[in-house]
């Protein structure tokens, strides 16, 4: 999603007003960024209710720490970073086996794919989206995060670098591997592809 598609006062103006106890201004920031944050959280945790709770936590954390926000970066970037960290914290707490250290689990994934491989199963076009959703949830968190920001939210590597604090070469490798795993999973479910 383009970060700067908006009308009315820009984020910096709304942040300045929020710092002067203008809660209406922060409400506008919520309206503006809620969709992206909730969708990002949803792709990361795969559950709507949890996604909304995490998105709320992210906004509240941003609201409380607004005085520490440095105006030399974008508010959206700062907010996405907070949301991303909230999601990773949640994944670590709920799924201890899917932490950051588990980014390179090709072998495990390959076994997983092999188990679900059913040659007679053919995917319809409508099924592809559903299978892709589920396959994204099975990606290691760091691949999932990079893939979602790049291809679901449509961000550039430069924006991702700023949000995630990881250099773009590393992010590209995570996106490459995420794409590759997803394509293998989908291909495995539909041998004709």
Q: Is 38 in the site for another protein (CB under 8 A)?
A: yes
Q: Are 60 and 34 in contact (CB under 8 A)?
A: no
Stretch that binds another protein, among 4-12, 20-28, 74-82, 91-99 (CB under 8 A): 20-28
Q: Is 6 in the site for another protein (CB under 8 A)?
A: no
Stretch that binds another protein, among 9-17, 83-91, 96-104, 182-190 (CB under 8 A): 182-190
Q: Is 122 in the site for another protein (CB under 8 A)?
A: no
For residue 127, give the 3-state DSSP assignment.
helix
Paired tokens of 104: 């390179």
Would you say 111 or 180 has its CB closer to another protein?
180
Number of residues that bind another protein (CB under 8 A): 40
**Which of 63, 65, 117, 170 is close enough to bind another protein by CB under 8 A?**
63
**Which of 2, 97, 119, 154 is close enough to bind another protein by CB under 8 A?**
154
Q: Are 80 and 163 in contact (CB under 8 A)?
A: yes
User: For residue 169, with 0-12 CB atoms within 10 Å meaning exposed, 13-18 middle and 19 or more buried, which class applies?
Assistant: exposed
Distance CA 148, CA 44 (A): 8
Q: Is 17 in the site for another protein (CB under 8 A)?
A: no
């Amino acid at each position: 999603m383009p970060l700067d598609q908006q009308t009315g006062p820009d984020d910096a103006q709304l942040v300045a007003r929020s710092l002067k106890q203008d809660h209406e201004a922060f409400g506008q920031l919520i309206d503006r960024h809620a969709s992206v944050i909730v969708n990002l959280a949803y792709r990361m945790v795969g559950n709507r209710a949890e996604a909304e709770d995490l998105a709320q936590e992210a906004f509240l954390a941003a609201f409380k720490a607004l005085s520490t926000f440095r105006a030399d970066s974008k508010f959206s970037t700062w907010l996405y970073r907070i949301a991303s960290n909230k999601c990773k914290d949640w994944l670590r707490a709920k799924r201890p086996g899917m932490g950051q250290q588990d980014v390179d689990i090709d072998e495990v994934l390959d076994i997983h794919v092999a188990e679900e491989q059913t040659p007679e199963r053919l995917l319809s076009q409508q099924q592809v989206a559903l299978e892709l959703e589920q396959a994204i949830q099975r990606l290691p968190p760091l691949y999932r995060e990079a893939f979602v920001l790049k291809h679901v939210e449509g961000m550039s590597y430069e924006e991702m670098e700023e949000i995630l604090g990881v250099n773009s070469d590393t992010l590209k490798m995570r996106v490459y591997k995420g794409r590759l795993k997803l394509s293998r999973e989908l291909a495995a479910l539909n041998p004709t592809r």
